[in-house]
Amino acid sequence: MAMDEWLFARAAEEPDSVFVRLYSWNPGAITIGLNQEIERAVDSSQLKGTAVIRRMTGGRALYHDPGELTYSIAASASGASSGILGSSVQETSRLISTALAGFLDDIGFATQIVRQSYPGFKEKDGFNKLSCFQSAARYEIVSDGRKIVGSAQRRINDTFLQHGSIKLNKQAEHPALSKKADCEPEPDETQWIKGKNLSDISESFSRNLAETLGISLAIRTPEEPEQQAIETIRDFLMKNPLMKRNLIKRSDPVESL
């Protein structure tokens, strides 16, 4: 989460760039949406040692198991990326979902893009009680009748960040989010999907995204000052994991937490 918040700040400073990050989780963890009520979204008595953190994006509570692929895309609607990723939340979501569907089709998943949000998606009671994969919003992706990608976006001024959880395996349940009191968190190990590991699939994802959006992607490793900035944000989040963060354009992202 610290890296994603740092990328959001970089996108505000570099409006002509698109930042893409891919990662997995070990150990697994639960994230909750920006505006969710922690007491209603998560059963703290069933956490069993699992970490919980509030995302800077919206959406619902989600257990990130070690077998998923998580993406984040940050860009500025005022820069060159506006013609690629659109100028509104809905348009950006549609374009990213189109790229994701192409990637999933490429690795063997037959997918459909949801054209209308599921009934009750926006109801407040369900918003806090249902987990991310128990409902689907417009432009999210399903495969064989199950939601396979859950995404959430945050846009401040001209800058946006979209998070997404891609469930290449079955949806892992967690007792803190599930109605099944006897379910257990998934084991903390990288799972193999169709003979490939997450590293192989990440390469396919990046290639498909670049081709679909017509952009060039290059691997970038943060330099020492940048790494220090990320670690500062990480330390803040570890001490304040459930705090709502009102990120704005600042040269120093820590001052906007």
Cite the active site residues.
Answer: 132
Residues in the chain: 257
State how far the Cα of 230 lies from the Cα of 227, in Å rounded to an integer: 5
Identity (one letter) of the amino acid at 50?
T
Distance CA 94, CA 97 (A): 5
Would you call 71 helix, strand, or coil by DSSP?
strand
Give the contacts of 109 (CB within 8 A, at least 6 positions apart). 143, 148, 168
**φ, ψ (nearest 5 deg) of residue 46:** -110, 15
Q: Give the helix ranges, DSSP H, for the chain.
A: 2-13, 38-41, 82-85, 89-106, 124-129, 198-213, 224-239
Residue with tokens 């400073």: 13
Q: For 68, which DSSP code?
A: -
Angstrom distance (rounded) from CA 207 to CA 209: 6
* Alpha carbons 67 and 51: distance in angstroms, whole number: 17
**Residue 18: closest CA among 124, 197, 162:** 162
Round to the nearest angstrom and report the end-to-end CA distance of the chain.
13
Q: Which two tokens stand for residue 167?
A: 């469930």
The SS3 of residue 140 is: coil
